[in-house]
A = this chain, B = another copy of it.
């Protein structure tokens, strides 16, 4: 059961040094979730052997071009590839109008349905749920309405202690055990005691996505304990003044959030075009939070299965 984050782009406003705009795909147990969709995302997906038709849910943080300008091309290519299943898109108020206007002038009637949910940028709220995950959005502090996303695996069943299972146990009794119930006979007598035959469930893994935002400790409560935290660090520490002015974060600010939220791993991204060499980003962040890495295009960051619930 995979939980993999593939980075398609992690550069900020002006693409530079071959680095592309924000986009990443989270794969959870075979389901593909696209988070932000900067210009060229469909090209990046093709480059890294991704599959457009597997994406059923797209989350757009905000309407600065470097986070969504690839969306129309992606939608069009899905149409040209004869997609028929629904596509869910979650994004800021305005996204519906942007899509509608462009489909109108290209005279495109999609052969699949887009379920677009426009988000309130001030709420912490569950916006999506399917068989694998729940997704919450929460407010980030940027120049325009901007949401962060917290994507978490749903609670998993208890694990059976196989050597304790009697041969005669039925499938429905096993299902009851997995749900945490004791197995009882027709008189209500306990036959198999749950506590004796099960172990705690595997951990529900999670990704927190925070781009774009200025340093904002208020978000810690929304992302606490995430296995992966993607947090923007547009600037190095020495450019803190510019981070503040442009509603972005520095390496050390991102690392402070990671430390306070006690996440597993910090992925830094949304690098400014002013920096050619990105290695100082990692070293600066590691001064505060050791498990800091660069979100590098084409790389996949995996959270292993098998960790047990704390």
Contact = CB atoms under 8 A, between A and B. Distances in A.
A260 B94 CA distance: 49
Contact of A107 (B66, B77, B143): B143
A175 interface: no
A39 interface: yes
A143 to B, nearest CB: 7
B18 A80 contact: no
Contacts of A101: 94, 97-98, 101
B77 A13 contact: yes
A43 B41 CA distance: 12
A73 B106 contact: no
A61 to B, nearest CB: 13
Contacts of A42: 15, 39
A144 B14 contact: no
Contacts of A102: 63, 65, 98
A20 interface: yes
A191 interface: no
B18 A63 contact: no
Interface residues of A, number: 38
A65 B98 contact: no
A151 to B, nearest CB: 24
A269 interface: no
A80 B14 contact: yes
A35 to B, nearest CB: 19
A145 to B, nearest CB: 9
Contact of A73 (B39, B43, B97, B104): B39
Nearest to A144: B107
A81 interface: yes
A73 B81 contact: no
Interface in A284-299: none
Given A69-B73, A73-B65, A98-B101, A81 B20 contact: no
A47 B17 CA distance: 9
Interface in A58-98: 63-66, 69-70, 72-73, 76-77, 80-81, 92, 94-95, 97-98
Contacts of A77: 13-15
A76 B38 CA distance: 13
B65 A106 contact: yes
B106 A63 contact: yes
A148 interface: no
A107 B93 CA distance: 13
Given A18-B47, A107-B144, 15 more contacts: A13-B76, A14-B81, A16-B46, A18-B46, A39-B43, A63-B102, A65-B106, A66-B76, A92-B105, A94-B105, A97-B101, A98-B102, A98-B105, A106-B144, A107-B143
